[in-house]
Chain A
Amino acid sequence: MGYPSPFHERMVALNETWKYKDWAGIVSPCRFIENHVYEYTAFRQATGLLDVSPLYKYEITGKDAGAFISYVTSRDVTKMKPGRVTYLCWCDDHGKVIDDGTVTRLDEQTFRMTAADPQYAWLLGYSSGFDLKIDDISRTMAALALQGPTSRDVLKSCSDLGELKFFGSVAAKLAGKKVRISRTGYTGDLGYEVWCDWNDGVAVWDACMQAGKAYGIVAAGLDALDMARIEAGFILLGVDYFSALHVTVPEKKSSPYEIGLDGTVELDRDPFVGQKALRAAREKGSERALVGLELDWPELEAMYSEHDMAPALSSMASRESLPIYLDGGQVGRVSSSSWSPTLKKYLAIGSVRRELSAVGTVLEVEHTVMFERRTVHARVVERPFFDPERKRKP
C-alpha cells in the first residue's frame, strides 16, 4: 500500500484524474488534469509545482562528512563551499553506477544527499572509521519543486529568498517555516526545490500556490515531468540505466562513461570506491555511449500516411526500450523518448556503440506502424536538447 506524501491531501483535492503511481513507495500523481501537456506547459511558460518528496534523502554530519562522501561518490566534495550543490553518481568496486543524485553542503560539517533508490545500508557499509553520523531523512523531510520561468517570482513573493546562483542552496523562511531552497531541478529550466520538514509540507504548498496564482502556477505530475526531463537530456535510474546493486546480468550494469556521466567523475584524487576500475574503464574507453537522438519526423509522417493516418504517437513520454539499428544490425537501444512540444521534434535518449555516438551520425530506430515493425532514421544531436539561458542566468 502506498504511503502518503506530505502534500497528499492537497494533491488529492486537486487531482481530477485519479491517476497515481508508486514512486519510491509514495502515492504520486501522474497528472492532475486529463491533458498533462498543460502541466508540461507550466514548466516551460509559468511555474509547475511538483512534489519530489519521494526522493531518498540523507543528512551526513560530522568532522569527516566531506571526506566520507568524497570516498563513496564520484566527486571530491571537500572543496565545495557551503551553500553549493553538486550533481554526482556513485559506483560499486567494479566502477559500475549504483545511483545518481545531488549533494548539498550546508556548512563545514553538514551535507545532504539525494538518491533515487534507498542507499542507507550502502552508505553505512562504508562509514566505519569516519567520524560522522548518517541520518535517513527520506520520510521526515519534504521536497517541493517549483520549475519554470516564473518560479523565481513566485518564491520571492512568498519567502525571503534573495539572489541564488544556479546550483546554489540557502536557508530561508517560507510561510513562517524554516526551509532550505536550492536552485536545482529535473526539468532543465529555471527552477528551485524547497526542502522543509515533512509536517510543514501543507503550509509550504499553500503559500506557494497562493503566491503562484499571479504567476500562472499549476500543480504538475510525473507525466509532465517525464517530458521535461527528456528535453533536458536527464537520465533516469531504472529506465535509462540500472543500478549495479540490483541487476545480476553484467551487461545491464553501466560505467559512468557509458551513461553520459563522464563529467561527474573526478578520478585523480585520494582513493575512492571504484576508482581503480573507473581508471581502467577510462583508459580502455567504454564500448557504449549515451546519445540524444532526433527522429526524422517527415519520414514518420510518410510512414503513417501510407496508411492514411496522421502520426499516431502518444503525447506522453515513452519508456519503451526500442532497438537501434545500422545497416541491418543492432547497435544500441532507445530507453526514453518523447515528443517535444517546445522543439516540435520527436526526441529519444539511447545508448549506442561509442564509435556511432558522434553528433550528426544517422542511425535507425525501430518504430511500429499499423502492427508492422519498421525503422525510422534518427540523428545523433547534442544533449540537452533544450537548454534555455534562463536556467543558469543570475
Chain B
Amino acid sequence: MKTYDAIVIGGGHNGLTTAAYLAKAGKSVLLLERRHVLGGAAVSEEIFPGYTFSACSYVVSLLRPNVIRELELPRFGLQILPLETTFNPLLDGRYLLRGKDPETTYRSLAKFSKKDAETAPLFSQAMAELSRMVKPIIDGPAPDPASFKPKDLFSLLRLGRIFKDAGEDFVAAQVKMMTMSAVDFLSEWFEAEQLISPMSASGIIGTFLGVRSPGTAYVLLHHYMGEIDGSFRAWGLPKGGTGAISMAIAKSAQHFGAEIRTNAGVSKVLLEGDKAVGVVLENGDELRAKTVISGCDPRRTFLGFVGEKSLDGDFVKQIKRYKMRGSSGKVNLALDRLPSFKSLPGDGPHLKGDITFAPSIDFLEKAYDDAKYGAFSRRPFMNIVFPSVTDPSVAPAGKHVMSIFVQYAPYHLKEGPEAWPSQKEAFGDAVCNMVEELAPGFKSSILHRHILTPWDLEKEYGLTEGNIFHGELSIEQLAFFRPASGFARYRTPIRNLWLCGSGAHPGGGVMAGPGWLCAKTMLEEGAV
C-alpha cells in the first residue's frame, strides 16, 4: 500500500491550500473530501437548476496575495470582481451609501453628520495604519511567548519592536481595540448612529456577541486589513461564487501533483502510539501517510478524528472550552427580478455592492437579545449581496441570485439545536419578511429559497455548532491561543498530526492564511 507524504482531511480552501503548497514542494499528497464537491464552506453549488450560489461564505476578503501569486490562482480560474459600495437602508426610509468615490460617501454621510463625513476618511486612515502594524501577525505563524527557541524569540522581538516604534498612541489604540466594544470604540470617533450601527455590525459577524459586548472592536480591524494589501486584489466578489476560489486552488494543487478524492469521508485518524500514521475512511478503508493534516475544525479533529482517550486531559479541556457556538445562518434566494428598496428605489450602484442592514444600535442589540435567550432574531441583522448583477454567469438571463447572511441564528436554541429543522422555515420567513419591509414587493420575486441554519452548517458542511470561523475570533482565541495554548503553530499533541483550518492562526475568513502557514511551517521544520 502506498504511503503518502501527507494526507489532508477536508477539501475546504485551507485544506486545498496546504495540499497545493506541499505538492508544489514535491511531496506526495492525498486530499480527502467527505462531500461530493470541493470547497468546504467556500463552495459554489447549483442548488436550483441555472442558479449557482456561494452557499456559505460569499465574499473574498483577505485572500493572501502571496497565495494568489505562488499558487498561480488566476491561471486556474480565479477572478475577483469589484464589490465596492456599502448600502445601508434604514427603517425610516433614509439610507447611507458609502463607496469608493469619496464625494458620494461624503455627501451621504453629511446628511446625518457633517462632522462624521469629514472624520470618516481620517478614521479609515487610522485603521489602515493600525492594521498595517498588525499585518505581520497574520502573515506569519503566531509567536509563542512561552518559547525560548531563537526563532520564536526573534519573532517576538520583531513584534515588540513594531509596538515600540509605533509609540504610545498605537499601543493605546491597540489596547482599546482589544478590550472595547465596537460601539464604544466607534463612538469615540463618530456621532451619527446611522453610521456607527452598520460599522459596528462588522465587529460581530460570526460571533456570539453583541455590538456593545467588550472585545468586538478588534474584529473591525480585520475589515481594514484588506486595504493594506493594496486595492488591487484583496476584496471582492469571486466570479462563479466562492467555490471558484476553492476550485482554482484545487486545480493548482492537482497541477503540482496532488491527488484529490471526493465522497471520501474520514472517520478517524489512524494512530500508532502517539503518532499519526494515516486515516480510516468512513467505508473502513485505511490509508497511510507520514503526516496527516486536518483542515476540519479543532473540535471535530481532536474529539472526533483522534478521540479523547488518545489525548492529554488538559488539552481535551482546552478544546472543549474552545468556543464554537455558531450564531449565524444564510438564506440563498433565486429571484425573478431585483428588489426595489423603499429608501433608494430602482437599479443603481447600490445593488452592485454590499448591503448591510443594521439600522440602529438598539436594533442590533434586540436581535442579540433574542439569541441570548435561545431564539433566532425575529428582526435580524442582514448582510446582502446580489452576485448576479456583476457576474451574470450565476443565474439565467434576467434572473438573479441573492445571498443573505443572517445574524443571529444561535446554534443552541432554547429547545436544543436538534429543534432547528422544525424552525428552519420560520427562520427563513423572518428573514424574507425583514427584506419585504425594506423593499415592498420583494417576496413576490422569490423563485426558490434555500435556508442554512447552524444545524445545517454542522450536519452538511461539518462546521461544529455551525461556527463559520472554526471557533470565534475573540481575543482569547486568537494568535498563540488558537486553538489551544502551546499548540498554535499548526502542530498538535499527536505527532505527525497537523491542523491547517480556520481553527488555527490567523483564523477564519477566505484568506487561506492557515493553510499556507501550516504548509510553510511543516516544510521549514522538515516535518514532511
- Give chain A's interface residues, CB within 8 Å of chain B: 33-35, 37-38, 41, 44-46, 149-150, 153, 213-216, 297-298, 301, 308, 310-311, 313, 315, 339, 341-345
Closest Cβ neighbor of B232 among chain A residues = A339
Task: Give bound CA distance, A311 to B65, whole Å.
Answer: 12
Interface residues as binary, B77-102 with A (CB distance below 8 Å gives 1, 0 otherwise): 01111101000000000000001110
Knowing A41-B82, A297-B69, say if A35 contacts B390 (CB, 8 Å): no
Q: A34-B100, A215-B398 are in contact. List 4 more A-B contacts (CB 8 A).
A: A38-B390, A41-B390, A308-B132, A313-B232
Does B227 count as interface, using CB distance less than 8 angstroms? Answer: yes
Are A311 and B230 in contact (CB-based, < 8 A)?
yes
Sample (22) of A-B pairs whose CB atoms are under 8 Å apart: A34-B99, A34-B100, A34-B103, A34-B104, A35-B84, A35-B101, A41-B82, A41-B390, A45-B391, A45-B393, A213-B398, A215-B398, A216-B392, A301-B230, A311-B230, A313-B230, A315-B231, A339-B232, A342-B74, A342-B79, A344-B74, A345-B74
Complex Cα distance A216/B81, Å?
14
B253 interfacial contact with A, CB 8 Å: no
A344-B390 in contact (CB<8A): no
- Within the assembled complex, what's the spacing in Å between the Cα atoms of A44 and B398? 18
Q: How far is the CB of A339 from chain B (nearest CB, A)?
A: 6
Q: In the bound complex, how far is the Cα of B239 from the Cα of A149, in angstroms? A: 13
Question: B69 near A215 (CB under 8 angstroms)?
Answer: no
Chain A residues, Cβ within 8 Å of B388: 216
Cβ contact within 8 Å between A45 and B82: no
A45 touches B390 (CB 8 A): yes
Question: How far is the CB of B347 from the nearest CB of chain A, in Å?
Answer: 9
Q: How far is the CA of A350 from the CA of B160 in the complex (A)?
A: 45
Q: State how many angstroms separate the Cβ of A353 from the closest Cβ of chain B.
A: 30
Whether B397 pairs with A215 at a CB distance below 8 angstroms is: yes
CB nearest to B128 among chain A residues: A310
Let me know if B349 is at the binding interface, CB within 8 A: yes
CB pair B101–A34 under 8 Å, yes or no, is: yes
Shortest CB–CB separation between residue A387 and chain B, in angstroms?
13
Q: Does B25 reach chain A (CB closer than 8 Å)?
A: no
Cα–Cα distance between A153 and B398 once the two chains are bound (Å): 12
> Could you say which residues of chain A place their CB within 8 Å of the CB of B157?
none
Are B69 and A298 in contact (CB-based, < 8 A)? yes
Given A310-B228, A315-B232, CB of A41 within 8 Å of CB of B392: no
A310→B229 contact, CB < 8 A: yes
A341-B80 contact, Cβ under 8 Å, with A38-B390, A153-B397, A213-B398: yes
The residue of chain B having its C-beta at the shortest distance from the C-beta of A343 within the complex is B74
Contacts of B352 in A (CB 8 A): 38
The answer on a CB contact under 8 Å between B398 and A35 is no
CA of A311 to CA of B69, assembled, Å: 15
Between B84, B99, B230, the greatest number of chain A beta carbons within 10 A of the residue's beta carbon is seen for: B230
Across the interface, B239 reaches (CB within 8 A) one of A45, A153, A315, namely A45
Which of B79, B232, B239 gathers the greatest number of chain A CB atoms within 10 Å? B232
Given contacts A38-B82, A310-B228, contact A216 B239 (CB under 8 A): no
When A37-B82, A344-B74 are in contact, do A310 and B227 touch as well, CB less than 8 Å?
A: yes
Which residue from chain B places its CB closest to the CB of A340 in the assembled complex? B74
- B residues within 8 A CB of A33? 349
A35 and B99: CB pair below 8 A? Answer: yes
Are A344 and B397 neighbours in the complex by a CB distance under 8 Å? no
B186 contacts partner chain A, Cβ-Cβ < 8 Å: no
Q: Which B residues are CB-close (under 8 A) to A297?
A: 69
In the complex formed, the residue of B with least CB distance to A217 is B392
Report Cα–Cα, A97/B233, bound state, in Å. 38
Task: Write the chain A residue with the least CB distance to B68.
Answer: A344
Contacts of A38 in B (CB 8 A): 82, 349, 352, 390
The CA-CA distance from A308 to B397 in the complex, in Å, is: 46
Q: Which of B230, B393, B398 contacts A310 (CB 8 A)?
A: B230
**What sequence of 0s and 1s flags, for each residue 214-231 of chain B, a beta carbon within 8 Å of any chain A beta carbon?**
000000000000011111
**Complex Cα gap A297–B232 (Å):** 11
* Shortest Cβ gap from B402 to chain A (Å): 15
Q: Are A214 and B398 in contact (CB under 8 A)?
A: yes
Which residues of the other chain, B, contact A301 by a CB distance below 8 angstroms? 65, 230
Q: Which of A35, A153, A301 has the most C-beta atoms of chain B within 10 angstroms of its own C-beta?
A: A35
B-side contacts of A149, CB under 8 Å: 393
Q: A41-B82, A45-B390, A344-B233 in contact; A214/B101 too (CB < 8 A)?
A: no
Which of B100, B132, B230 contacts A35 (CB under 8 A)?
Answer: B100
A214 x B397 contact (CB < 8 A): yes
A215 to B394, CA, bound (A): 11
Q: In the complex the two chains form, is A45's CB within 8 Å of B100's CB? A: no
Q: How far is the CB of A66 from chain B (nearest CB, A)?
A: 41
CB within 8 Å for A41 and B81 given contacts A34-B104, A150-B392: yes
Closest 10 pairs (CB-CB, A-B): A214-B398, A34-B101, A216-B392, A214-B397, A310-B230, A344-B74, A35-B100, A37-B82, A311-B230, A46-B392
Bound CA–CA A239/B232 (angstroms): 25
Question: For residue A314, which residue of chain B has the nearest CB?
Answer: B231
